[in-house]
Amino acid sequence: MKNNTINKKEIEKFSSIAEEWWDPTGKFKPLHKFNPIRISYIKNNIIRSLKLNNGEKPLKKVKILDIGCGGGLLTEPMKKLGADVVGIDASERNIKIAKLHSKKNNLNIKYLCVSPENFITKEKFDVILNMEIVEHVEDINLFLKSSSKLLKKGGIMFVATLNKTLKSYLFAIVGAEYILKWLPIGTHEWEKFVKPEELIDILKKYNLKLDCLDGMKLDILTDQWKISTDKSVNYIGKFIKIN
């Protein structure tokens, strides 16, 4: 096991296009299209699990850590929903963009350039978001172990990633990168994709129990992402820390 989770090649890849994070027509266009379903899934599951009823700010006082936050595409909506949010990312350029954008929008979000194993904090979080990040790290075991240490007992961890199947290779790499040009070529490496059972087994070691697992699929007719029973390409899991 390595002593850090930072993959320099991956950091450089995303740092080089950091200025485009908030351009809905730029290189992160697929993530902008993906964002509404991520936000509603996270919000609804947190409300249900923590039995919240906070009106207009449904996530009021919920402490969320967004790991691999990028430019803040998910961090900002969580803040707007009332949560106390910290965003961390190993790319300085990503953090710089995130800070500038949140300041422009008068959102008080704490952003830090750090990876989870190097994040020193006394506070434990109610919720941890590991969204579209585990397929880009150097050591998934260490990454998830470090993430789990930052979560409270009874807290929730969301992990969204890509399944390691022939279909995911054809859709997420051949289709999305080479044919449709939705993503820059080289965005993903199929070898780093993670099968759900592998993810579940790793998290079990760190006291995280699977609560639910869902697929996410693009509806070609509406051009919108939706929750699906098909987990063969994109999927999202909700895990509860049991002790």
Q: What is the SS3 assignment for 86?
A: strand
Q: Between 191 and 44, name the one with better pLDDT.
A: 44
pLDDT in tens, 198-234: 999 999 999 999 999 999 998 989 989 999 999 999 9
The reported pLDDT for the residue numbered 2 is 55
Strand, helix or coil at 109? coil
The backbone torsions φ and ψ at residue 142, rounded to the nearest 5 degrees and listed phi first, read -65, -40
The alpha carbon torsion through 41, 64, 239, 44 (nearest 10 deg) reads -20
Q: CA torsion, points 209, 4, 162, 100, in degrees to nearest 10? A: 100
Q: What's the pLDDT at 35?
A: 96
pTM over 0.75: yes
Top-confidence range, 24-33, 171-180, 194-203: 194-203
Strand partners, 241: 208
Q: What is the pLDDT of residue 88?
A: 98
pLDDT given at position 1: 44
Find all residues with CB under 8 Å of 121, minimum gap 6, and list them: 150
pLDDT in tens, 59-111: 999 999 999 999 999 999 999 999 999 999 999 999 999 999 999 999 999 99
- Which of 6-11's residues contact partners 24+ apart within 8 Å by CB, and which partners? 6/90, 6/115, 6/137, 6/138, 7/136, 7/137, 7/138, 10/136, 10/137, 11/90, 11/91
Q: How confident is the model at residue 171 (pLDDT cuts 50, 70, 90)?
A: confident
Asked if residue 178 has pLDDT above 80, the reply is: no
Domains, the chain, ranges and CATH? 8-162+194-241 (3.40.50.150)
Could you tell me the two tokens for 43?
């919000």
Provide CB contacts within 8 A for 46, sequence distance 6+: 52, 59, 62, 126, 127, 156
Cβ proximity of 116 and 125 under 8 Å: no
